[in-house]
Amino acid sequence: MKATPLSLSIASLQQAYRDGMLTPLQVVEQVVAAIADDSHHAWIHRIDIDTLRARASALMARGPEGLPLWGIPFAIKDNIDLAGVPTTAGCPDYAYTPEQSATVVQRLLDAGAIAIGKTNLDQFATGLNGTRSPYGACRNSYNPDFVSGGSSAGSAVSVALGQVSFSLGTDTAGSGRVPAGFNHLVGLKPSLGLLSTHGVVPACRTLDVVSIFALTADDAQQVFAVAHAPDPQDAYSRATPAHGFDFGRAARWRVGVPRADQLQFFGDAGYAQVFEEARARALSLGAELVEIDFAPFQETARLLYEGPWVAERYQAIRAFIDAKPEAVFPVTREITLGGAKPLAADAFAAQYRLRALAQRCHAVWSGIDCMLLPTSPTIHTIETMLAEPIARNSDFGYYTNFVNLLDYSAIAVPMGFRPDGMPCGVTFVAPAFQDQPLLHLAQRWQHALQGKAATLGATGHTAVPMAPVQAVPSGQVQVAVCGAHLEGQPLNSQLTSRGARLVQRTTTSPDYRLVALPDGKRPGLARVPQSGVAIEVEVWEMPVREFGSFVAGIPAPLGIGRTVLADGSQVPGFICEPAGLEGAQDISHFGSWRAYLQSKVR
């Protein structure tokens, strides 16, 4: 099995479609050829070629207008419904054929995406390794002797091998992150309820989310923008509130990392080394590393396979497993039937314990914007996994199991490779509804990777630029400052007292004039038609609710207008009324207010 000869990243395909180099019909032909004999056991059901041709032809007749995913092939984990195609959840005897697609699938189809088929998984989404399937142990895209990660095994491998552009998985304990880490992919675990789970076979309904696997963070962003929306058919659906400070685009951001004595790699020096490189990478992107006590998160993680959450797995398939226990994969049966034993009192006791741990965990966020963690401490061969299926599976959840229990969002991103060539990823974790900052950070992170680490999955292709897509409003507003509001200057507290954070230091476009106002305390900035220069500015971000009071306190002749930055973008920023420029000293040649002030003290 080999990847398609073309790059299936969404940006690459869309460019090829625009240039007339490819058509959706040609893409489905190449995708079907690339899947071939499926030697990696990534697929359970593939749509027949005639149906795919008909879908592609219909899209070509319709045209791409208004269809953001026009002609983009994708895969669906086989615990998520696709109309007219059996849903097995990895268990042939459980299979049913839905009349309607899951809400999230239908949104993607309505956006022009092409469903190629259903992918292999750890049966009933119980596992993090990808071997617990009667359809065959799913094999890693880099080395078939190693596990793929699970439970969304085939969803990850099909993307990593370049057979589809993106895929849907599910994530209850790390199933949307661990396979991403093992296959050099981006894996978005959204906040609970942002992607509908209507039409998804549950594992733990209170924790389950639909996840997205993609070759790039840009692609994940575009899919998320299409897929997320409230759904009245999903009792756990939630509307997306404003996400707050966008640390993903900030010049400085605070990232929590476990203390050295709390890191665990189970003797895997290669994974440990890659995580050290990730810490250095974060520093190079402006992060302040803050050591955190990881103990309450570890304690929370251990709750996942106790009391109510194992019972919830049992409840999800209770009628089926009670009637046909022999139809369930042995290790899955052992785990699931264990959920029949806890009492209701045990469930309440575990909930109380979770609440107490959550208070300790949530306190950490006052000092950090996100966490940086290894996606997994290590990886195992399929042989090692099958020899100790429960213990070795538990290894993979060391840094993932707490996330869903605490209602956090997370994104797994590529980082590097062990000496033997196996991928090692890292994961950023943040509170609920910080999906957008996480996506922005993942985009920035991936764009900074170099060499082999910059390749997409196991395809050998590299990324091409994509136009920005904004999926979730921030509830923040940016403002460019050039004088007394700069960091360290007398009026900077007017920003920080309103919760503003520094996003970037940059310059204006080269068509501005800077003057010193007569009071000698403030500059004035004005855009001019000729003989302008670039002026240094800082861009700060504050909550929208604070912006009005900030603007109201600005005395004449200054005000807020639009400032054009060096990259051509525009943000609200300080401007000077024309009357204020009259008789003012032109200090444009200094290039910044700070340089002007320094010249006065020399």
pLDDT of residue 602: 66
The DSSP code for 78 is T
Rounded to the nearest 5°, which phi and psi values hold at 22?
Answer: -140, 160
Model pLDDT for residues 132-147, shown as the tens digit of each residue: 999 999 999 999 999 9
The CATH T-level fold of domain 476-601 is Hypothetical upf0131 protein ytfp (3.10.490)
Is beta strand 287-292 parallel, antiparallel or unpaired with respect to 253-258?
parallel
Q: Which of the residue ranges 73-77, 420-424, 464-468 would you say has the lowest mean pLDDT?
A: 464-468
Tell me how far apart the alpha carbons of residues 40 and 30 are, in angstroms, rounded to a whole number.
18
pLDDT of residue 74: 98
- What average pLDDT does range 562-571 have in this prediction? 94
Task: Report the first-to-last Cα separation within the chain, whole angstroms.
Answer: 70
Has residue 475 got a pLDDT over 90? no
Q: Using the structure block, give the residue that is written with the tokens 């983009």.
A: 72
The DSSP code for 306 is S
The DSSP code for 260 is G
Q: Using the structure block, give the residue that is written with the tokens 């895997």.
A: 268
CA-based nearest residue to 125, from 197, 74, 194, 192 = 197
Q: What is the mean pLDDT of the chain?
A: 94
Is beta strand 570-576 parallel, antiparallel or unpaired with respect to 558-564?
antiparallel
Residues belonging to the chain = 602
DSSP H stretches of helix in 250-376: 269-284, 295-303, 307-316, 318-323, 330-337, 344-362
* Pair of tokens at residue 120: 């292999």
pLDDT of residue 2: 47
| Residues catalogued as catalytic | 77, 151, 175
Please check whether residue 410 is in contact with residue 428, taking contact to mean a CB–CB distance below 8 angstroms: yes
Please check whether residue 427 is in contact with residue 399, taking contact to mean a CB–CB distance below 8 angstroms: yes
CA-based nearest residue to 27, from 129, 112, 137 = 112
pLDDT of residue 193: 97
CA-based nearest residue to 220, from 178, 177, 280 = 177
* Pair of tokens at residue 232: 């009245």
Cα 509-527-487 angle, rounded to 5 deg: 65
Please check whether residue 125 is in contact with residue 89, taking contact to mean a CB–CB distance below 8 angstroms: yes
Please check whether residue 124 is in contact with residue 316, taking contact to mean a CB–CB distance below 8 angstroms: yes
Model pLDDT for residues 150-163, shown as the tens digit of each residue: 999 999 999 999 99
Question: 10 Å Cβ neighbour count for 338?
Answer: 15
Model pLDDT for residues 265-306, shown as the tens digit of each residue: 999 999 999 999 999 999 999 999 999 999 999 999 999 887
Tell me how far apart the alpha carbons of residues 229 and 107 are, in angstroms, rounded to a whole number.
9
Please check whether residue 93 is in contact with residue 250, taking contact to mean a CB–CB distance below 8 angstroms: no
Please check whether residue 257 is in contact with residue 290, taking contact to mean a CB–CB distance below 8 angstroms: yes
Let me know if domain 10-231+249-305+369-454 sits in CATH 3.90.1300.10: yes
Model pLDDT for residues 167-183, shown as the tens digit of each residue: 999 999 999 999 999 99
Cα Rg of the chain (Å, integer) = 26
Question: 10 Å Cβ neighbour count for 420?
Answer: 10
Domain ranges of the chain: 10-231+249-305+369-454, 476-601
CA-based nearest residue to 257, from 282, 225, 286, 224 = 282
Q: How confident is the model at residue 41 (pLDDT cuts 50, 70, 90)?
A: very high
Question: 10 Å Cβ neighbour count for 355?
Answer: 9
* Pair of tokens at residue 271: 């994974």
